Amino acid sequence: MPGTPPTRFAYLGPEGTFTEAALRTLPAAERGVRTPARSVPEALEAVRSGEADAALVPLENSVGGAIPVTLDELITGSPLMITREVLLPVEFVLAARTLTPLAELRTIAAHPQASAQCRHWLQANVPDAVVVDVLSNATAALSAAAGEYDAAICAPIGVPRNNLAVLAEKVADRAEAVTRFALLTRPGAPAAPTGDDVTSLAVSIRHDQVGALLAVLTELAVRGINLSRIESRPTGEQLGTYVFFLDCTGHVAEARLGEALQGLRRICAEVRFLGSYPKHRLQPESPVAPPRGLSDTDFADSAAWLEQLRNPV
């Protein structure tokens, strides 16, 4: 990360959640001070106010989609910048105070998102148990440890912390579920390009301009920039006005992405730069190559050619 590495980290709490588990994969956070926040806005406000150097919050889930509160926070208030992303496979466990046969379970504590991702497994393995909604995965583990419920669906990190016994592992209906988290800091110079980067943007289009969204996409397509994600959120100002969140391959320091940003600046009502940062890959994978004639080398060559025309030696 650019500048002084962060040492004080806020994250969406409480302790024992997937967000904490994701944060602790970062060496700087493992060594630093980690403070749980009650909500995404509270975690990000800690960064804005200077109480924390960085905050880790969930951005999207491969099953449930984008996290609306995080997107909304990125377009309101003073700007923040994503400096890295963390992908974490989401593996739920069923745990209890003591080893208990599944047939004897009558109540199971779970966060609503967790129970939704484990619905079919629960129906097949504990059909007679009542699933009780709680505020978080950590709360579920705590309540099972206290004996309030027979068991809990929780994150693996909550098992040793609450001295629980695992009754079943990997209870989610989709074993490949992944949550993407974003580490945000106050704005600064992005880290140098790695060759496999993501640039995130929030763009507001003019609602009275015909083909405005097509014009936005064209600015990227004609430069061979791969759009890996697009998400819309209402601005709240009036019906029919939206902000579009874009994840693009490439780095702001690269010529072709820089040209695209200039183009977006000209045609959009507003463009908020949310950061350029290394792409996190769970498995080795080659980045998508730009089409022939649209690589960074091609753009550098064409720029040099134009400069030669304007200023011949």
Predicted pLDDT of residue 159: 94
User: Is the predicted pLDDT of residue 40 greater than 50, yes or no?
Assistant: yes
Confidence of residue 205 (pLDDT cuts 50, 70, 90): confident
- The CB density around residue 39, as the number of other CB atoms within 10 Å, is 13
Per-residue pLDDT, averaged over 170-182, amounts to 89
- The fraction of the chain above a pLDDT of 90, given in percent, is 61
CATH architecture entry for 7-89+178-188:
3-Layer(aba) Sandwich (3.40)
User: Is the pLDDT at 32 greater than 90, yes or no?
Assistant: yes
pLDDT of residue 1: 43
Could you check whether 7-89+178-188 and 93-168 share the same CATH topology?
Answer: yes
Q: How confident is the model at residue 240 (pLDDT cuts 50, 70, 90)?
A: low
Global pTM value:
0.83
> Which CATH superfamily does the domain covering 190-312 fall into?
ACT domain (3.30.70.260)
In the predicted model, is pLDDT for residue 77 greater than 50? yes
Q: What is the pLDDT of residue 292?
A: 80
Domain boundaries, the chain: 7-89+178-188, 93-168, 190-312
Is residue 82 predicted with pLDDT exceeding 50? yes
- Whether domain 93-168 has CATH 3.40.50.460: the reply is no
Give mean pLDDT, residues 106-121.
91
- The mean pLDDT value for 53-61 works out to 94
Q: How far is CA 76 from CA 194, 236, 253, 257, 292, in A?
A: 29, 11, 25, 25, 39
Residue 3: predicted pLDDT: 62
Residue 53 has pLDDT above 60, yes or no: yes
Q: What is the pLDDT of residues 146-161, one digit of tens each?
A: 999 999 999 999 999 9
